[in-house]
Amino acid sequence: MKCVTISGPDRGFTLIEMLVVLMIMGLFIGLVSTITRPDDRAVLQLEAERLSQLLDFAASEAQLSGKSIAWTADESGYRFWRLGDDGSWSEIRDSELLRARTLPQGVTVSDFRVENMRPQGTMRLEFRPQGSALAFAIGLSLGTERYAVTGSPVGDLRIVPGGSLSVGQVALREEPVAK
């Protein structure tokens, strides 16, 4: 008995076929990563909304507790402080909501005004348990995107998209914050 084998050329993937598959996979991965990463505007709007809600909570907490609460910011984030019975400020560490926050990468506090004036020294906004609040504007920026969180003397907080604004200009372009 005779065994006959039919042999043809061995079939495998050519280098060009492998490169095409790798190129398609690379394009797919790049597309997925672009879709899943939020754009600058969305990141900045989310941070502005978070700051607005925390400032509103701090103002309410000051009224309910009867103790002044202050907000301060630096280049990497912001924190809240409580005025003690002895007249000294201490950082709030016992509240999950008013804990120190680090700003997302690239986000900066680009402008800060109280009663349309830039404060000297550190950025500090104080919420007192009694009396009227001060009008303020806190500018946030990320790349070319800008948002401002503004507060009025009656306690209304707003988020304003756009460039650097003064407290007086903010009233022309207000958008209410959903509470």
Domain boundaries, the chain: 40-173
pLDDT of residue 2: 63
What pTM was estimated for this model as a whole?
0.70
Residue 177 has pLDDT above 60, yes or no: no
pLDDT digits (tens, 9 = 90+) for 56-76: 999 999 999 999 999 999 888
**Rounded Cα distance, 67 and 83, in Å:** 6
**Rounded Cα distance, 130 and 132, in Å:** 7
Report, at the CATH architecture level, how domain 40-173 is classified: 3-Layer(bab) Sandwich (3.55)
**Rounded Cα distance, 157 and 59, in Å:** 11
SS3 of residue 162 by DSSP:
coil
pLDDT digits (tens, 9 = 90+) for 8-56: 566 777 888 888 888 888 888 887 776 666 678 888 999 999 999 999 9
Q: Report how far apart, in Å, the C-alpha atoms of 26 and of each of 20, 30, 35, 73, 82 are.
A: 10, 6, 14, 41, 52
Model confidence band, residue 154 (pLDDT cutoffs 50, 70, 90): confident
Query: Please, which residues have CB within 8 angstroms of residue 25's CB and are 6 or more apart in sequence?
Result: none
**Rounded Cα distance, 173 and 27, in Å:** 41
pLDDT digits (tens, 9 = 90+) for 79-135: 999 999 999 999 999 888 899 999 999 999 988 898 877 777 778 899 999 866 789
More confident residue, 166 or 105: 105
Q: Report how far apart, in Å, the C-alpha atoms of 48 and of each of 13, 35, 73, 80, 106 are.
A: 53, 22, 14, 16, 14
Q: Which H or E element spans position 49?
A: helix 40-65
